[in-house]
Amino acid sequence: MMKLKSCYAGVDVGASRTKVAILDHSKNLIGHAVKKSGTDFTATADTCLAMALKMAGTPKSDIRNTISTGYGRKNVSFARDTKTEIGCHAKGCFLYFPFATTIIDIGGQDNKVIKLDASGKRTGFKMNRKCAAGTGAFLEEMALRLDVSLKEMDGLASQSENMIKLGSFCTVFSATEVLENIRRGKKLPDIVKGVYYSMIKRVLEMDALTEKVVMTGGVVAHNAFMVKMAEEMIGRKILVPEYPQLTGAIGAALYAMQP
Amino acid sequence: MQDNLTYEGVFMTTDKDKVKRVKLKAASKLNQIMADYFYELDAAAKAKEPKIAWCTSVGPAEILRAMGFLVFFPENHGAMLGASRMATDLLPIADAQGYSPEICSYLRADIGAYLSKTTPIAKSYKGIEGVPRPDVLAFNTNQCRDVQDWFTWYAKKLDVPVIGIHTHRGVGKVTQNHIDSIATQLKDLIKPLEYISGNKFDLDKLKQVVALSKECSILWKKVLDTARNVPSPFTFFDGTIHMGPAVVLRGTQQANDFYQLLLNELEERVTNNIAAVPHEQHRIYWDGMPVWGRLRDHSELFSDLNANVLASTYCNSWIFSAFDPDDPFNSMARAYTELFIVRSDDFKETYIKEMLNAFKVDGIIYHDAKCCPNNSNASYGMPQRLERATGVPSITINADLNDLRLISDEQTKTNVEAFIEQLEENQS
Ligand code: SF4
């Protein structure tokens, strides 16, 4: 008789992207998917699950349990329960970095700073959602102003030789400053690096950091140079999991695994 | 089905079916005495007697009452505007008059309401058309300078005299100098009040009012202290509703009768082990003001997570332990100066530490109200210092007492859920 595989799914319905992670019983990531959340969270979550299952090569019936998280966590029809994105990010990170850390997650519309002790327990967290400064939404707005695609930004920033500094955190004011710099003939890479710098500064001021720092989230996944800049700013190496954007979904799958 | 609830002494009409909170029997008595309070004020405003004083929430209500005034509290009106969610539409009207969107959203909602000729009082109490017109405005800068600006605006608008007490702020140890200066200012109010009221000051009457106020204060403290029990029979959200008489009727027998009734009911709950939040698992302290327009949502948010917000800095603001009928001026000066909001951060931290112990608190919520730095304690590192000193974790919610445009419900919800999740995981 064929032994049933058992796996666990985590769904992270973010304001910007929906992520699904499927873990096998040994906590290996066997399938995953990322898609724009769009306006129908339920449908997007279903599609992501189908994609992730396809990648894992397992039927839906192998999933023992599913936990959803994120902004649209209540919209996932196939989830048994929900957990907050704070809890899921903490769990997802601790799987790869099992020691005391400060996690910085830069998402599409919010940032989180989460502190974990050596046993993985959360000792505190901070979220920033009232203002889009320092989030992916800020980056998107700046890309629009600069007429470059989000994909191009990381490459551009890394070419900068003379970074400009933005005085304001505010997305709208920063956009004006960006336009002002374009008008003055500043180089595109220097402006993009300035945008990155502004974002990191905004995030770093949210909380004091501990020795080990982990960065996660979609912005980190697609902007490796930003992590490099952050390392320079804090003067030490920053840990990044293999799939930074999936951290919350992986954490949710780990919750799903708990009895 | 309609029901009346009171917020900081003011009634709101609500949809009863939506109310999840375990209702206290004393609430109907509360409804009645609060209605009487507003109708009495309305009748006085119409008959032009007795005279009406507008007063800040802390005081000097005792003196005004002793001089024969009926007392109306604009801050309650501000809270009512918040609870009815009328404030959000009225705030921009005051902003357009030159008030910054960063300052007191009670003041701005209230002035906006005046300029728009609207009030939730008229909506809740048939026959009442507006707020009772004052004969005098008496402020106390105990809590902030905003109240002075607020009352001065009305003084000019309505051509009514304004008098006030300028309090010390950031007080560490309360010294005789503090007491002397406030007591002198209190005494200086007598002459103008005699002139406005046409009544001669009567020291015995003041002693009687202070005695009643003291009793009210003692009873209110006992009510709040029932939440020390595990499980707690009372919540912070109940407190914000039931503190009405302690604010607007302090110094009257009705207030004291009400609190005796409420206390009996809560003690009965304690005896019978009845929890205000069934399955109470987490005991939470609330620092800062309530978010009036989200009182019910917040109450349900916590109770759904088996968390009881059961103690607060805010509800304790109407405890005036120092009142002494035999020495009314000095004891009022002391009571007003000993209040939390007037004190230094050192004092505040010690105070909160004692509260955490006494109420067996697992976590703290700081409400950082955008428009009231005076009632917000999260801006100068206090949460971090207290957490280091006590090990009790906390989160800060960025919101406002009245301005719902400054609130992200989703952010609040996620923060609170994640916080309770953290408490739960760390407990197990
Ligand atoms: S203490 Fe705050 S809410 Fe109260 S009147 Fe002053 S500014 Fe307004």
Task: Using pLDDT thresholds of 50, 70 and 90, give the confidence band for residue A12.
Answer: very high
**Distances, alpha carbon B227 to alpha carbons A2, B79, B135, B360, in Å:** 58, 24, 40, 10
Tokens for A76, please give them: 């996932």
pLDDT at residue A130 above 90?
no
CA of A105 to the centre of ligand 1 (A): 35
The full DSSP string for B9-48 is TEEEEEEGGG--S---THHHHHHHHHHHHHHHHHHHHHHT
Q: What's residue A127's pLDDT?
A: 87
Residue B317 beta carbon below 6 angstroms from any ligand 1 atom: no
- Choose among A183, A203, A187, A185: nearest CA to A148: A187
Q: What's residue A108's pLDDT?
A: 84
A7-87+246-257 and A99-240: identical CATH topology = yes
Residue whose CA is at the smallest distance from ligand 1 atom 5: B147
The whole-angstrom separation of Cα B155 and Cα B195 is 17
Question: How distant is the Cα of B414 from the closest Cα of chain A, in angstroms?
Answer: 6
CA of B56 to the centre of ligand 1 (A): 10
pLDDT at residue B178 above 70?
yes
Residue whose CA is at the smallest distance from ligand 1 atom 2: B372
Q: What's residue A129's pLDDT?
A: 60
Which residues of B are less than 8 Å from A69 in CB distance?
none
**Structural domain harbouring B151:** 24-427
Q: What's residue B16's pLDDT?
A: 41
Range among A104-118, A154-168, B182-196 with highest mean pLDDT value: B182-196
Task: Using pLDDT thresholds of 50, 70 and 90, give the confidence band for residue A232.
Answer: very high
Task: Using pLDDT thresholds of 50, 70 and 90, give the confidence band for residue A132.
Answer: confident
Q: What's residue B22's pLDDT?
A: 67
Identify whether B194 is part of a domain: yes
Query: Of the ranges A81-85, B9-13, B121-125, which one carries the lowest mean pLDDT score?
Result: B9-13
* pLDDT over 90, % of chain B: 91
The whole-angstrom separation of Cα B110 and Cα B98 is 14
Does A258 contact chain B (CB < 8 Å)? no
Residue whose CA is at the smallest distance from ligand 1 atom 6: B144
DSSP assigned state of B102: T
B394-401: average pLDDT: 95
Q: How many domains does chain B fold into? A: 1
pLDDT at residue B10 above 50?
no
CA angle A98, A102, A108 (to 5 degrees): 110
* Closest residue to B421, CB basis, from A83, A110, A127: A83
Write down the CATH number for the domain with range A7-87+246-257. 3.30.420.40
Length in residues, chain B: 428
- Quickly count: other Cβ atoms within 10 Å of residue A150's Cβ: 16
* pLDDT over 70, % of chain A: 98
Which residues of A are less than 8 Å from B411 in CB distance?
110, 127, 129-130
Burial of B137 (0-12, 13-18, 19+ CB in 10 A): buried
Q: What's residue B297's pLDDT?
A: 95
Please give the model's pTM, rounded to 2 decimal places.
0.89
Question: How distant is the Cα of A113 from the closest Cα of chain B, in angstroms?
Answer: 12
Q: What's residue A183's pLDDT?
A: 87
Task: Using pLDDT thresholds of 50, 70 and 90, give the confidence band for residue B12.
Answer: very low
Best of B75, B102, B343 for a ligand 1 pocket test (most atoms within 8 Å of beta carbon):
B75
- Residues A57-116 pLDDT 10s: 999 999 999 999 998 999 999 999 999 999 999 999 999 999 999 999 998 888 899 999
Q: What's residue B79's pLDDT?
A: 96
The whole-angstrom separation of Cα A236 and Cα A239 is 10
Q: What's residue B8's pLDDT?
A: 43
Identify whether B77 is part of a domain: yes
Residue B146 beta carbon below 6 angstroms from any ligand 1 atom: yes
Best of B147, B341, B400 for a ligand 1 pocket test (most atoms within 8 Å of beta carbon):
B147
- Residues B261-316 pLDDT 10s: 999 999 999 999 999 999 999 999 999 999 999 999 999 999 999 999 999 999 99
- Residues A46-60 pLDDT 10s: 999 999 999 999 999
B174-187: average pLDDT: 97
Residue B121 beta carbon below 6 angstroms from any ligand 1 atom: no
Q: What's residue B21's pLDDT?
A: 57
Which residues of B are less than 8 Å from A127 in CB distance?
411, 414-415, 418
Is the CB of residue B379 less than 8 Å from the CB of residue B373? yes
Residue B75 beta carbon below 6 angstroms from any ligand 1 atom: yes
Q: What's residue A205's pLDDT?
A: 87
Give B25 or B161, the one with higher predicted confidence. B161
Where do the structural domains in chain A lie, given as residue ranges? 7-87+246-257, 99-240
- Residues A189-229 pLDDT 10s: 999 999 999 999 888 888 889 999 999 998 998 899 999 99
* Closest residue to A129, CB basis, from B406, B408, B421: B408
Q: Which CATH number fits domain A99-240: 3.40.50.150, 3.40.50.2000, 3.30.420.40, 3.40.50.720?
A: 3.30.420.40
Counts for chain A of helices (H) and strands (E), in that order: 9, 10
Which residues of A are less than 8 Å from B417 in CB distance?
84
Identify whether B280 is part of a domain: yes
What integer best gives the mean pLDDT of chain B? 93
Place of tokens 């119409």: B46
Q: What's residue A174's pLDDT?
A: 84
* pLDDT over 70, % of chain B: 95
Q: What's residue B2's pLDDT?
A: 34
Q: What's residue B7's pLDDT?
A: 43
The whole-angstrom separation of Cα B6 and Cα B289 is 16
Identify whether B16 is part of a domain: no
| DSSP-derived pairing of the beta strands A111-116 and A101-106 | antiparallel
- The distance from CA A89 to its chain's CA centroid, rounded to whole angstroms, is 9
- The distance from CA B185 to its chain's CA centroid, rounded to whole angstroms, is 24
The whole-angstrom separation of Cα A250 and Cα B393 is 26
Which residues of A are less than 8 Å from B421 in CB distance?
83-84, 86-87
CA of B371 to the centre of ligand 1 (A): 8
| DSSP-derived pairing of the beta strands B2-7 and A238-239 | unpaired
| DSSP-derived pairing of the beta strands A63-69 and A29-36 | unpaired
- Quickly count: other Cβ atoms within 10 Å of residue B32's Cβ: 13
Question: How distant is the Cα of B396 from the closest Cα of chain A, in angstroms?
Answer: 8
B356-368: average pLDDT: 98
